[in-house]
Amino acid sequence: MSRTTARAHKPDRASGESLEPAGAATALVGAWWASVLAGDVYEPHPVYGSLKVHLDGGRLRLSGEVENEADRNELVRQARERIGHGIDRVDVSRLTVASHHEKAGILSQTLISAFPNPEAAEFARAFVLKHSRVAPLQDEIVDCAHADRLRALLPEEFIDDAGRALDSGEALLILRVDETAAFRVRELLEEDTRSQWTIAVPPQLNERTGRATSAGSSGVD
């Protein structure tokens, strides 16, 4: 089988360029996913070439290392869009972000996980906090009746996706933790609570530095 050599343009986050592939790049990414769902898991992703894909029945597993949380979130978004088209679950527990060995107390990170109802989200919160032994800087469960809370908890670019999840009946568990603990918490959310999906907001300076973080100043329950 011939190998695809074309590469889509990787968005420039420093310039504020959209994460969404555009024009010909969109076609390349769409064609790549179509070939994956048809069983060809060997071609490199046109943007994130180091990505590895495995199909196991209805489960699609992504693995590998990407440069940052924005890249990981974009891959999770692309994969989730294919649920119902040959796959029924996406496993991204082995899709990691390159470690930059940050010191505790400098950065915080907000994790967003979707669950079928508030009760499942509450169970996941209790489980994750117990097993991670992490004291969250903020933790909140949001359902459709409290959608107005999203603007106090999330950056603007994440609100639309979160709102759509609430509109579909899901409940969101939103945790803000020290960036050094974020990987461990996210791993528990993805592997052990069976969240429907989990994404991470890029790390922000912790409030104790005197700068604003991505998710407000205190927990609300």
Range of the domain at 70: 13-97
Residue 5 included in any domain: no
Q: Which residue has the tokens 């996706």?
A: 161
Residues 87 and 141 in one domain: no
Q: What are phi and psi of 73, to 5 degrees?
A: -60, -40
Residue 101 is predicted with a pLDDT of 60
Give Cα 158 distance to the centre of its chain: 10
Same domain, 45 and 91: yes
Alpha-carbon span 165 to 172, nearest angstrom: 8
Q: What is the CA radius of gyration of the chain?
A: 18
Tens place of pLDDT per residue across the chain (221 aa): 334 334 454 544 444 343 444 566 788 899 999 999 999 988 888 888 778 899 988 999 998 888 788 889 999 999 999 999 999 999 998 888 877 666 778 899 999 999 999 999 999 999 999 888 889 999 999 999 999 999 999 999 999 999 999 999 999 999 999 988 888 898 889 888 878 999 999 998 876 544 444 444 333 34
